[in-house]
Structure 1
């Protein structure tokens, strides 16, 4: 790290997580899921616990939603909503296999002091919506409907930037892009990292225009879900297999925190998938 590298500041975060007590891969709704391949639920729980403990050790607040039998993907809480200022825009899942989760997330938000907005259009929460400073980056192409981008712009009265995903391995925005500065001053641009090959030409051009100092991550690091990461502004929680991305983060003054969720990757999810940011609401 050079003397010119900016100092990074940790921002205390509040996250919603779900213990993967019922995790298994019994169906396939993304290219990572192979039901014929054995899964180890106990290992998934141990790996998830290591992420939970890493957050706690660095001073972050964790809320838990109860896992439900028959809903093995509830561990991927990022898909359970998108929350700003205590308002929770809840999901409407594309695939029937996950639609049973919707009522549980809605109920949790209501019972915990959030104002719930029920969607009219298909969306998969923070999987496809990422807050980047003053704007919402929104993924399209595989899961969340284009109409949900217009809907979320109305709900939160913010500019929404639609980005088209083209590689089915990266079916949610949070698998191909990470916001590294969760809190910035109004009008400031946060640092992001993204996988260029996951987006179409127009989306890449838009990202280059808006985020000229972004970290562009290599395909090898994207393919191990290196970008499916969470950041508190200083510490970035990433896969230990994303070694190139780890080096890039250190060069920018961030502190990588390596957490292996390889078992949960069998379901097509990683660190960010298991982490829903809660902004506002009662405590």
Structure 2
């Protein structure tokens, strides 16, 4: 995770961002600290990367890379404003003992790569290039399934899919998703692979309810995603709501603030 000490919205690279509107950095920090405390209370080992002045989106740590089997596949961002984040995260991975692979193709880390069981779901259409999917498949030795995103408000895969049972080897892992975020080919894949998936409504998706983190039982979600909360509870999960409304002004939520380090 990365504290949002320098968070602001000074440019526009997604539909959520409106630089003409004010942001409250101190509020963003307080909300982020609430998420951080939730993780600590759940017993998670949380590592922090130092924020860099001039990189306000660095708080969205999920975009910093994709880590599996101690291999850190670095990020290569689409927009110039975020491109310095890639080397900053790769430097942190190296300093913390990960095997860093410098990307040859544009990708935005866990924003577009989601591990579901032993399979990696990979988004394209707005940010990560589809050839990065082939690159990650070669690096990880995992099956990588390409999904085309079609709604610009859900420009990263982690805004349109929530992984509910994330552990490799999990029997019949499940997800939740927003159907309108995908083209018909992607929907066919999701319906075939995840027939019992939770289908989330537009209202909950618009507060980035799907941009959530699950350990297989506890699911940390946007506190305003009430119907998704209900669905999770009915399926036996423990939804935990958190208010990250200030960070939503930059287009991020719970998952965006959370990069998983899989040793």
1:199 aligned residue: 182
2:46 aligned residue: 62
Aligned length: 263
User: 2:128 & 2:51 partners in 1: Cα distance?
Assistant: 24
Per-residue CA distance 1:200-225 (angstroms, 9 max, x = gap) = 11101100000101111111111110
User: 1:220 & 1:170 partners in 2: Cα distance?
Assistant: 13
1:152 to 113, 121, 136: 136
1:3-152 to 2 correspondences below 5 Å: 17-152=1-136
Greater RCO (Cα-Cα under 8 Å, separation 6 or more): 1
User: 2:16 & 2:157 partners in 1: Cα distance?
Assistant: 16
> What TM-score comes out, normalization by structure 2 length?
0.99
CA shift, 1:189, in A, is: 2.4
CA shift, 1:184, in A, is: 4.8
User: 1:184 & 1:129 partners in 2: Cα distance?
Assistant: 14
3-state DSSP of counterpart to 2:82: helix
Q: Which is worse superposed, 101-110 or 45-54?
A: 101-110
**In the alignment, is the contact (CA less than 8 A) between 2:4 and 2:56 conserved in 1?**
yes
Residue 194 (structure 2) pairs with residue 211 (structure 1) = yes
3-state DSSP of counterpart to 1:257: strand
User: 1:227 & 1:76 partners in 2: Cα distance?
Assistant: 15
**In the alignment, is the contact (CA less than 8 A) between 1:235 and 1:255 conserved in 2?**
yes
1:149-188 to 2 correspondences below 5 Å: 149-185=133-169, 188=171
1:243 aligned residue: 226
CA shift, 1:88, in A, is: 0.2
CA RMSD of aligned residues (A): 0.7
3-state DSSP of counterpart to 1:119: coil
User: 2:83 & 2:172 partners in 1: Cα distance?
Assistant: 35
CA shift, 1:240, in A, is: 1.0
User: 2:168 & 2:100 partners in 1: Cα distance?
Assistant: 26
Per-residue CA distance 1:56-83 (angstroms, 9 max, x = gap) = 0010110000000000000000000000
Per-residue CA distance 1:34-66 (angstroms, 9 max, x = gap) = 000100000000000000000000101100000
3-state DSSP of counterpart to 1:155: helix
Per-residue CA distance 1:239-280 (angstroms, 9 max, x = gap) = 111000000000000011110000000000000000000000
